[in-house]
Amino acid sequence: MRKGLFNSDFYKNTSNREQIRQRALQRLKKGYLLGKLLYKNRADLYDR
């Protein structure tokens, strides 16, 4: 009984971790793309 509970908890935790990792990756991608855009615009401003 205890072993079964532990296993289900473990799987729950791993799926949570996976979800958090996915969200973090998405945030990184968004931040990277936004940063690239901002950098481009800043460079254009300085070039003028």
Stretch 9-29: mean pLDDT, rounded? 83
Domain residue limits at 8 = 1-48
Mean per-residue pLDDT of the chain:
78
* Res. 26 pLDDT band, cuts 50 70 90: very high
Nearest to 34 by CA among 26, 46, 23, 44: 26
- Give the pLDDT confidence score for residue 46 in this predicted structure: 75
For the chain, percent helix, then strand, then coil, each to nearest 5? Answer: 95, 0, 5
Domain count for the chain, please give it. 1
Residue carrying structure tokens 């958090």: 20
* Res. 9 pLDDT band, cuts 50 70 90: low
